[in-house]
Structure 1
Amino acid sequence: MAIEVGGRAPGFELKDNHGRTVRLSDLRGERSVVLVFYPFAFTGVCTGELTALQEDLERFVNDEVQLLAVSCDSMHTLRVYAEQEALEYPLLSDFWPHGNVARAYGVFDEDKGCAVRGTFVIDRSGVVRWRVVNALPDARDRSDYLKALDTL
């Protein structure tokens, strides 16, 4: 079951596509976070969603908000994927222990071995203020994220 709105966002420490450590706790008190879980790099729906976020990057990465995208792909896979798709925000690897962060957020599909399409808007104090969880084939609408950010 996915983390509920009003609940505390589970902390995590993951490597991004450049090998840098990203901790949710480092953003607490500084910026809100849009945390986007996606199944796999180099797939059609995921690429469509992530490039759509890139198109509105100034709304998702600024002094108020940080966009973080998480998959169970390796850091090396994510580096090539970000370069190929010209993604300029952190892609975090939940590769090992495999899917632990996705599990903590309740969005890991044990049968498929990947995250489903879960998005969490987390306020500066670390509380989940909005979420959406879609099945693997169902793309999310970035305008919903923007509406959720406007309420913070």
Structure 2
Amino acid sequence: MTALPARSAPPVLEAGTLAPDFTLHVTPDQKMALSELRGAPVIIAFYPADWSPVCGDELGLFNAALAEFRRFGAQLIAISVDSAWSHAAYATERKFHFPLLADFEPKGAVATSYGVYRTTEGVCERALFVLDGEGVVQWAYVSPVTVNPGVDGILGALEKMSTSAKQDTP
């Protein structure tokens, strides 16, 4: 039997690209669409897996920074390929105050559309996207999987968007 060639993933979305819309489970019974968040900045944090040490540190830091994100009117959502059931338990255990979305079935479809699905491992990259209110990527960053990227890049992107918006206002 001949092995199938590896599917090539699309490139990571770059600034200026309209972010693909999606609808994913937030809980086993509730879904959220990216389009529901239009009108305000959105931070999308893709992460490899619930319950892993670096992901816990990263999401914990984001949870602590929510007030700073909200100062810019930004909504944070986090996405991994874990199930909605795993997300529910993880969010409760860690007391996260932002939605964890399940890119579970078809596995990694949303991460693939953003260019951040690791086909070999079956998980997402550790990737961050900041979208403006129209859903256009303003900043994107892919961190090594073993490194917590922190919040400085996100806050810098939000500050830049805020400054640009103020300059555009007559």
Calculate the TM-score normalised by the size of structure 1.
0.95
1:129 alignment partner, SS class: strand
* Partner Cα distance (1:55, 1:63) in 2: 15
Letter in 1 for 2:17: G
User: For residue 76 of structure 1, what is the amino acid of its counterpart?
Assistant: W
In structure 2, the residue corresponding to 1:82 is in which secondary structure?
helix
Instruction: Tell me whether 12-21 or 38-47 shows the greater mean CA deviation.
Output: 12-21
Instruction: Name the counterpart of 1:117.
Output: 126
Report if aligned partners of 1:71, 1:93 keep a CA contact under 8 Å in 2. Answer: yes
Q: Could you tell me which runs of 5 or more consecutive residues in structure 2 were left unpaired when the two chains were aligned.
A: 1-10, 162-170
Task: State the SS of the aligned residue for 1:151.
Answer: helix
Residue aligning to 2:77: 68
Distance in structure 2 (CA, Å) of the matches to 1:55 and 1:18: 26
Q: CA deviation at 1:147?
A: 1.0
Segments of 4+ in structure 1 off by > 6 A? none
**Pairs within 5 Å for 1:28-67:** 28=38, 30-61=39-70, 64-67=73-76
Task: Give the superposition deviation at 1:32.
Answer: 0.8
Q: How many residues align?
A: 151
Displacement of 1:19 in angstroms is 3.4
> Once the 2 structures are TM-superposed, how far is the Cα of residue 17 of structure 1 from its aligned partner?
3.6
Q: Give the Cα separation in 1 of the matches to 2:155 and 2:72.
A: 15
| TM-score, normalised relative to structure 2 | 0.85
Measured on the aligned residues, the alpha-carbon RMSD in Å equals 1.3
Letter in 2 for 1:45: V
1:21 matches 2:63: no
Shift of residue 112, structure 1, vs aligned partner: 0.4
SS in 2 for 1:54: helix
Q: Which amino acid aligns with 1:68?
A: I
* Distance apart, 1:139 and its partner CA: 1.6
Which entry has the higher C-alpha Rg, 1 or 2?
A: 2
Identity of aligned residues (%): 35
Give SS of 2:19's match: coil
Name structure 1 gaps, 5 residues minimum. Answer: none
1:34–1:120 contact (8 Å) kept in structure 2 = yes
Whether the 8 Å contact between 1:17 and 1:82 is mirrored in structure 2 is no
